[in-house]
Structure 1
Amino acid sequence: MGTNRDMAVTRQRFDVADAAPLLIDADGIVTSWTRDAERLFGYPAAEILGRSVRTLLAPEDGDRIGRLAESHRPLGGWSGILAARHRDGRRIRVMVRVVPTREATLTTHTPDPLSPAHWVALVSDATEAPGWDMSRTVLERMTARAPIGIAIVDTDLRFVWSNAALERFGGGRAHERVGLRLAEVQPGLDAERIEAQMRKVLETGEPVLDYEHVGRVRSAPHRETAHAMSFTRLEDDQGRPIGVYYTVMDVSERHRARTRLAVLDRAGEQIGRTLDVRRTAQELADVVVPALADFVTVDLLDSVLRGAEPGPLGDGSDGSVPLRRSAQQSVHDGVPEAVVEIGGIASYATGSPPVRVLVSGRSWCEPRLDPLSAEWAKAIPGGLGGPYGRDVPIAALGLHSVMIVPVRARGITLGISTFFRRDREDPFDADDLSLAEELVGRAAVCVDNARRYTRERDAALVLQRSLLPRRLPEQDAAEVAVRYRPADELTGLGGDWYDVIPLSGARVALVVGEVAGHGIDGAAAMGRLRTAVRTLADLDLPPDEVLAHLDDMVAKSARQEGPEPGAGSVQTVGARCLYVVHDPVSGACAMAAAGRFAPALVAPDGTVTFPELPEGPALGVDGHPFEVLHLELPEGTMIALHTDGLLAEASPDALCRALARPEPSLEYHAQRVLDSLAPARPTDDVALLLARTRRLPAHRVACWELPADPARVAEARKTTARQLGLWGLDELAFTTELVVSELVTNAIRHATGPIRLRLILERTLICEVFDGGPTAPHLRHPRTTDEGGRGLFLISQFTQRWGTRFLPEGKVIWAEQSLADQVVQLRLS
């Protein structure tokens, strides 16, 4: 009972206006005076009781009150603003509300209840409160008709008053709220958070403005709504808190618009961060769950994933459209709603919603899926797989609302995206569909860019693979490992190159080079130079002559193409190249450079040195001659060739440390050197070639000096046959004797100086004849009536390849024969 009494007293404090009450009899005589009236007018009770109320008013308003009394208008009540006189003579403005009463208990002068009417006047100072110029009735009407909800709660956070607008949010009428807490009025609402704000205002006195709360209220139980609330503490005359005054405004539309903008901002940040089709599709799915949907799938045409142009839709034999699941996301772990495994094929039948969307390019939305459960069971291949069995309607999973939006960019349909709601009870609406179309439209452009990039990158990689060695050739001169890292990460193309070229006599040529520029232009220029180097290498020219011919070709090409060169020509001028030849028989190494290079040599004991290689001019620049550096390398020496990009962010000392560190394999060594010196995304292309030199064993090389005597040809054949017998190559004796006979005979007949015969057993059987003559023999096709000229023709028919190699002291004519597998096994055993 005590608590109810206190609550009634508290509510009564809210019901009494902040005004000084006066009691006036029927003649306008003041019969009751209070301390509030004394503070307002300055008169003590002794000076004003028994006097006319006109004493308190200005003359003009005193006459006004007299006329009102004569016309008995106060019997119906009256309110307004009057001009009053303070005891000290100054004028004050007061708001007055006059209420008639017949209760005898209100006056000591007229105890008879049947006496004429008395009036209660509520007077308050309006001098500094212009907003109170209107009557209380008007103010009550304003709060009743206000578009925002207004309420007052006491210090126990129980309702003591609310306006009619608050009823729109549910919870009953205003008089039904009185004495209840917010949780009792709005069950299910997160009332604790709101009451925490009220308590904060009661404790601190600081108002809380525009506090936004999102939840479900009784008036809209199936949809989240947002409300902006402001809280202000109410105090009594002593400044003690007596409650909280708060306002509520529905800002759901503003909240949804802000949410949509936030989702769009997030989409702009997260979708399209990579040029990968699947990754982009998954980014779309991650953005929309759970912001827009509870479950989403993205199905793309298989041609899109391959980077190809999408073909006509629905052209299958059964009118189906094959789609591949590219991404999916759910609010539930494990994605239980998934209808097709990632990477599986979904073939949607013609006439189902997905195909209509694909063909028309228009979105499709169904707020309630129950009527379409049968149609969707047919549309999804095999029904819903996994633990739900086959042919399970979508509604069985609780998916009650769906949107299907085509993934279209630049007028091309790439696939479809499907949005489902499960946990949220509110279905998709037009705003949700508009947002989904905006998100999918942005993602579609990124998917199409990724598709185009995939296609172009695949083409670029094909070009790159055709320009660089796909695999290193087999040879016994050196163990080789290469690494390549282009600066253009997107295309994987660059202007640097490397090459390993087997030469005659079991030798090998090691090449690195670079041209200006990256991407397609740099790769095209690099391809031209690499092809030229390989062509010149087949001529068995020394390194300086190879570079001299390459320099002439670049300069001539630049002159012929003029001031507007074609693709790649600008990059070839000024290009650089390092050409190294290693001979595994003698251990000799010859190298020449066009431009500045710093090859490193790592001795078998780990010592790293940089040979003083003469710096030649860049290709096509000034035509100065190139110089050759001749070295003799011990077996096991590692030659490190690289382009400038390797040391773009590292020093030669760092290269020495990386090369000197022993590694279990040359491949691992090359990778570690690249990773330790070059960044993952270098600013310049990087080409690295490591070659560990080998020596052919002495028993696999046989050499004889022959006099220029035709009678010694037969002896040369016998010597060759004996050597082949030692190597277990008797099967090749006849062919090799023929080759030796023809080559030695030609040298005796047409050359001068000493003649030397050498047999080398490598991966092929190599026969070489050296003489001092400067001219090379030419292959002829003799007529049937010719008696001679068939020697080289026979050699070309019986051997794998043959050629001429020029030396400073003469030339070498050589021929190679292929070895059968069983012969190779015998030779290597």
Structure 2
Amino acid sequence: MAIPYLRTMGTEVDAFLGQLARHLGPQRKRLAGLLLERLNGELPELWENADIEALTLEETAQHVTALLGLLEARPGAGASKAPPAALDMGRLYARRGIPVSRLLRAYRLGHLILLEQVQAEAPRLTGDWRLIHLASMRLVALGFGYVDRSSEEVVAAYQEERDHLLQRRLALTDRASKRIGTTLDITRTAEELTEVCTEDFADLVTVDLFDSALDAPGRGSPDAPAQRRVAQRSVLDGCPESPLRVGETHAYPEDSEPARALATGRSVLTHIAGNGLPPWVAPSGSHGRVLRDLGLHSVLLVPLHARGEALGLVQCVRHRTSVPFGEEDLALAQEIVSRAAVSIDNARRYTQERATALTLQRTLLPRTTVEQPAVETAARYLPAGSRAGVGGDWYDVIPLSGARVALVVGDVVGRGLHAAATMGRLRTAVRAFADIDLMPDELLTHLDDVVIRMQREESPDQGETTATCLYAVYDPVSRRCSLASAGHVPPTVVTPSAAGEAPRTSGRAELADVPVGPPLGLGGLPFETAEFDLPEDSLLVLHTDGLIAGRTRDVDLGLATLHEVLASAPDSLEETCDRLLTALLPGRPAADDVALLVARTRALDPDRVATMDLPSDPAAVSGARRFASDVLAAWGLANLSFTTELVVSELVTNAIRYGKPPVRLRLILRSTLICEVSDASSTTPHLRRARSYDEGGRGLLLVAQCAECWGTRHGREGKVIWAEQALPAEGVTVVEGT
């Protein structure tokens, strides 16, 4: 008899609950209002944001409807699901970064309050306290079962949204790591930061840098308020939210949030409600109206700090995105901005080092092309692109004794200040060795020793110093070119057109047959000097490998293009250089430094050169003096006869007395008068101070007093002692190259 009784009571309880639900149905709004009123005192955070408040109202009404529907539909029939607004609320809490525990607490409190209201209505429908008691017990069980099921679904929605947000943030972080800092350019790095952050994070991103931070490392300071807008990007065309344009300078008020963020180095999250726009956000009324119309509601201020220096400030703004920034967004922004700050600092440090290296490089290179009687020259130096860095390429034109000239091109392996400084040291060494008239192979041997000593002096972290060099000497008297290569690409020689052919249209362009020795710095390996004759008006083109080689360009193709351009080179060497750069480097700046030196050979008129072979007999000195006097008379330089005869007498006397035959005297007339005496001895004369009772030892002293300069150069066999005298102002007019 007990089981039918319980079944009867269960049916009565379900019927009573259904009756109670129908009775309360018209009072849904009142119940929801009472519920919200109670929750307002317990959970004030539900009303902190307008969107949460609006969704809370909707969610509460849906919960009341769902619970009454569960009672009216006889709950044993099936489980009730959480209303859509509850799932939306879970997702909103996830996007805001609010702990889900606060939402679940609201559910528990809310359903307890709702159950209290429903129980309070039961005595109005029946006086059977036993039925009311059983119905209350059933109501509590149904209510908490509903809360448990709803909570599970809300937590699942919350976690799903959190996972989605986490994936988006990881994707954003991954994009930032790949796309920010792809170049060593400050402005471009700032632009990359704005591009990444406006894709799926902020509606406006601005980057301001201190003017001092744009100059040199160590000068950026938050005490310098002036900042420059280097980049900004918005989801709207034209960045209407920003009162500044890229390139403009400004300063934030001292008591503003941006100024405090810069001073303290701490990021700031600011929520803007209604019309309360601070002055630093809207500096003018018209701009404030624009921001209010757009619905700006939150701003992130993240200082740019790298290696202990303040570089500037990044602002992230939301207006079109309805969800305001949260604490997790602030942490994400700090991570991205910190990476960007390191890239910006790297870029500005590299820019400073590149500018310094480029200045050093250009200072060490020849500033102007000095007019040479032996050759006409034109040169170009192009630094590599900003990402590759300044290298150690150089060229030089060095006047030598005997109207000769040295042409030099070299390339130090490496980039930056170290390469530029090494280049300067090697160029100075080459000039010093050229000054003592070493043969090309001997000069490179000494230069190789210099590089080896530099390697020993350097620390291991600087890397091993090595370089290539091409050294050529051209003599306009004999029209002979001597050159040697230390790992450097041979020069290109363009001989003039044959007689009867159109000039500069059928000249032959080909690589000089030069043995290429090892690069400088290896030591112990020989260099070889190649010699060949060059017809007058030939082109000698020296360059570094950056002109013909590249990451995507074949060396053979580069040489073919070089020869094609040179085969029809114009008369102007400057134009020839421009054509070569246009044809070979159309996409400048190049990936490597480029040094280019183009020389057109000249030949001295045989009438400006006089030679006399002398016997190894002191009596030949007087004949040498008469020969010099007759030559000067023919050249219209009789007023130089006295000093020239004195110089000739002393040099010939020394050669006959201390040298070995054959002895030869040669006079050369160009912009100066050159007197040379050669013999087969390798003994080097030296200047000394003769004592008062010495009978000799004053010859070279007299030569040094009479000549502008003098010196000795050694050949494979023997030596040449030479002296140069300046031509008088009223002397003969010498046409160079004739």
Normalised TM-score (structure 2)? 0.64
Q: CA deviation at 1:279?
A: 1.1
Alignment correspondent of 1:693: 600
Contact 2:398 2:406 in 1 (8 A): yes
Alignment correspondent of 2:272: 368
Amino acid in the other structure paired with 2:391 = L
Residues 505 and 276 of structure 1, relative CA distance in 2, 3 Å threshold: same
Q: CA deviation at 1:546?
A: 2.1
1:538 aligned to 2:435?
yes
Alignment correspondent of 2:635: 723
Alignment correspondent of 2:212: 303
1:415 aligned to 2:322?
no
Contact 2:543 2:594 in 1 (8 A): yes
Contact 2:577 2:598 in 1 (8 A): no
Contact 1:326 1:343 in 2 (8 A): yes
Contact 2:613 2:665 in 1 (8 A): yes
Residues 750 and 346 of structure 1, relative CA distance in 2, 3 Å threshold: same
Alignment correspondent of 2:173: 264
Q: CA deviation at 1:810?
A: 4.4
After superposition, the C-alpha distances for 1:213-251 in whole angstroms (9 at most, x for unaligned) are: xxxxxxxxxxxxxxxx9xxxxxxxxxxxxxxxxx99997
**Residue 398 of structure 1: SS of its match in structure 2?**
helix
Contact 1:483 1:674 in 2 (8 A): no
How far apart, CA to CA, are the structure 2 residues paired with 1:550 and 1:738? 41
After superposition, the C-alpha distances for 1:643-686 in whole angstroms (9 at most, x for unaligned) are: 667468636576245313324432134325644999954xxx67
**Residue 473 of structure 2: SS of its match in structure 1?**
strand
1:284 aligned to 2:196?
no
Alignment correspondent of 1:19: none
Quick one: which of 670, 680, 704 aligns to 2:580?
Answer: 670
How far apart, CA to CA, are the structure 2 residues paired with 1:346 and 1:818? 65
How far apart, CA to CA, are the structure 1 residues paired with 2:209 and 2:203? 20
How far apart, CA to CA, are the structure 2 residues paired with 1:543 and 1:631? 14
**Residue 362 of structure 1: SS of its match in structure 2?**
coil
After superposition, the C-alpha distances for 1:410-431 in whole angstroms (9 at most, x for unaligned) are: 3321111233445556654444
Alignment correspondent of 1:387: none
Residues 363 and 461 of structure 1, relative CA distance in 2, 3 Å threshold: same
Q: CA deviation at 1:280?
A: 1.1
1:442 aligned to 2:311?
no
Quick one: which of 475, 481, 487 aligns to 1:589?
Answer: 481
Alignment correspondent of 1:354: 258
1:274 aligned to 2:186?
no
How far apart, CA to CA, are the structure 2 residues paired with 1:636 and 1:677? 32
1:607 aligned to 2:500?
no
Q: What is the correspondence of 1:197-276 to structure 2 with a 5 Å cutoff? A: 258-276=167-185
Amino acid in the other structure paired with 2:227 = L
Residues 566 and 744 of structure 1, relative CA distance in 2, 3 Å threshold: farther
Q: CA deviation at 1:440?
A: 2.0
Alignment correspondent of 1:490: 388
1:398 aligned to 2:291?
yes
1:452 aligned to 2:349?
yes
Alignment correspondent of 1:138: 75
**Residue 333 of structure 1: SS of its match in structure 2?**
coil
After superposition, the C-alpha distances for 1:327-384 in whole angstroms (9 at most, x for unaligned) are: 122334333444444333324453333322211111234323855645667xxxxx6x
How far apart, CA to CA, are the structure 2 residues paired with 1:678 and 1:697? 39
Q: CA deviation at 1:637?
A: 2.4
Amino acid in the other structure paired with 2:389 = T
How far apart, CA to CA, are the structure 1 residues paired with 2:253 and 2:160? 44
How far apart, CA to CA, are the structure 2 residues paired with 1:535 and 1:313? 50
**Residue 813 of structure 1: SS of its match in structure 2?**
strand
Alignment correspondent of 1:772: 679
After superposition, the C-alpha distances for 1:470-518 in whole angstroms (9 at most, x for unaligned) are: 6655434143445667799533335x65443232233222234556666
Q: CA deviation at 1:406?
A: 1.0
Amino acid in the other structure paired with 1:768 = C
Listed as ranges, the gaps of 5+ residues in structure 1 are 1-62, 80-96, 98-133, 151-167, 169-228, 230-246, 315-319, 378-382, 384-390, 726-732
Residues 429 and 700 of structure 1, relative CA distance in 2, 3 Å threshold: farther
Q: Which has the higher helix share?
A: 2
Q: What is the correspondence of 1:701-740 to structure 2 with a 5 Å cutoff? A: 701-703=608-610, 705=612, 708-710=620-622, 713=625, 716=628, 720=632, 723=635, 740=644
Q: CA deviation at 1:276?
A: 1.4
Contact 1:594 1:617 in 2 (8 A): yes
Q: CA deviation at 1:459?
A: 4.2
How far apart, CA to CA, are the structure 2 residues paired with 1:306 and 1:819? 53
Query: In the comparison of the two structures, how many residue pairs are matched?
Result: 585
Residues 500 and 149 of structure 1, relative CA distance in 2, 3 Å threshold: same
Q: CA deviation at 1:265?
A: 3.5
**Residue 321 of structure 1: SS of its match in structure 2?**
coil
Root-mean-square deviation (CA, aligned residues, Å) is 5.1
Alignment correspondent of 1:638: 539
Q: CA deviation at 1:392?
A: 5.0
Residues 312 and 146 of structure 1, relative CA distance in 2, 3 Å threshold: closer
**Residue 475 of structure 1: SS of its match in structure 2?**
coil
How far apart, CA to CA, are the structure 1 residues paired with 2:322 and 2:445? 80
Residues 810 and 801 of structure 1, relative CA distance in 2, 3 Å threshold: closer
How far apart, CA to CA, are the structure 1 residues paired with 2:463 and 2:732? 48
Alignment correspondent of 1:38: none
Residues 570 and 404 of structure 1, relative CA distance in 2, 3 Å threshold: closer
Q: CA deviation at 1:137?
A: 1.6
Contact 2:509 2:563 in 1 (8 A): yes
Q: CA deviation at 1:632?
A: 1.0
Q: CA deviation at 1:743?
A: 1.9
Amino acid in the other structure paired with 2:562 = A
Alignment correspondent of 1:109: none
Q: CA deviation at 1:633?
A: 0.8
Listed as ranges, the gaps of 5+ residues in structure 2 are 19-70, 88-105, 107-152, 497-505, 615-619, 657-661
Q: Which has the higher strand share?
A: 1
Alignment correspondent of 1:660: 564
Amino acid in the other structure paired with 1:723 = W
> Sequence identity of aligned pairs in percent?
37
**Residue 143 of structure 1: SS of its match in structure 2?**
coil
- The range that moved more, 616-625 or 658-667, is 616-625
Residues 723 and 289 of structure 1, relative CA distance in 2, 3 Å threshold: same
Contact 1:280 1:447 in 2 (8 A): yes
Alignment correspondent of 1:814: 723
Residues 742 and 262 of structure 1, relative CA distance in 2, 3 Å threshold: same
**Residue 635 of structure 2: SS of its match in structure 1?**
helix
How far apart, CA to CA, are the structure 2 residues paired with 1:252 and 1:528? 64
How far apart, CA to CA, are the structure 1 residues paired with 2:168 and 2:557? 57
Q: CA deviation at 1:453?
A: 2.4
Alignment correspondent of 2:711: 803
Amino acid in the other structure paired with 1:143 = S
Residues 139 and 652 of structure 1, relative CA distance in 2, 3 Å threshold: same
Contact 1:404 1:419 in 2 (8 A): yes
Residues 580 and 261 of structure 1, relative CA distance in 2, 3 Å threshold: same
